[in-house]
């Protein structure tokens, strides 16, 4: 009789982003092996019977003290060899944080800091792949709803929103087409002179860069 096939351990990872003129990701410095001293996404093991989304929120709070962020599923990562401790499968989540969100290391994290996406340190595990997938998910999100605008303080100027979208899309966005796109999609509402806030949703229309 053959041995029972090994089952993977279940983990979660959180890609928390904020925007302060540039996109930044929240990373923790690992206190323990494997990858001791390396930077990684906040995350950890799912407890028995625990909902994965609750596990992601719990790990984010325990390692960085950040709470109250909505979590958006990114994908599942389980390539053999991604974790030297054994076979693990991770559910990854995207969280969009207000620009004044502060972090403090806790649990098994030696440090917790925001890092600009344009100047990242080497990451542990396959977290560079998870981060790339999360950025792709954010690009999709900014075309179908207004959640990306929660990265801006409210109220905001359309120039701030345009710079944010250019950062997300990875290329310049021209002012006139962007303003026209916001109007067509009813993505924002005016709350003062040259000041806007996001509406609840968007009408269908892709951004023409």
Q: Is pLDDT of 118 > 90? A: yes
Q: How confident is the model at residue 184 (pLDDT cuts 50, 70, 90)?
A: confident
Q: State the pLDDT at residue 122.
A: 97
Global pTM reads 0.93
Instruction: Please state, in angstroms and rounded to a whole number, the distance separating the CA atoms of residues 75 and 90.
Output: 8
Q: Is pLDDT of 57 > 70? A: yes
Q: State the pLDDT at residue 207.
A: 59
Crossing angle between the packed helical segments 175-185 and 158-169, to the nearest 10 degrees: 100
Contact yes or no for 78/88 (Cβ under 8 A): yes
Q: State the pLDDT at residue 45.
A: 96
Residues 6+ apart with CB under 8 A from 65: 102, 103, 104, 105, 106, 112
């Amino acid at each position: 009789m053959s041995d029972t096939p090994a089952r993977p351990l279940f983990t979660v990872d959180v890609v928390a982003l904020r925007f302060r003129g540039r996109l930044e990701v929240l990373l923790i410095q690992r206190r323990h092996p494997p990858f001791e001293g390396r930077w990684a996404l906040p995350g950890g093991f799912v407890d028995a019977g625990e909902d994965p989304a609750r596990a992601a929120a719990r790990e984010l709070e325990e390692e960085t003290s950040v709470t109250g962020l909505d979590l958006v599923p990114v994908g599942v990562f389980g390539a053999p060899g991604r974790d030297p401790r054994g076979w693990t499968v991770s559910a990854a989540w995207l969280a969009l944080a207000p620009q004044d969100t502060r972090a403090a290391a806790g649990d098994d994290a030696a440090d917790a800091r925001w890092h600009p996406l344009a100047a990242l340190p080497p990451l542990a595990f396959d977290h560079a792949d998870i981060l790339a997938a999360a950025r792709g998910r954010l690009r999709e999100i900014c075309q179908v709803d207004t959640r990306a605008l929660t990265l801006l303080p409210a109220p905001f100027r359309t120039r701030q929103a345009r710079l944010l979208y250019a950062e997300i899309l990875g290329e310049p966005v021209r002012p006139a087409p962007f303003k026209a796109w916001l109007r067509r999609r009813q993505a924002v509402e005016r709350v003062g002179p040259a000041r806007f806030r996001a509406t609840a949703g968007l009408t269908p229309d892709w951004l023409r860069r």
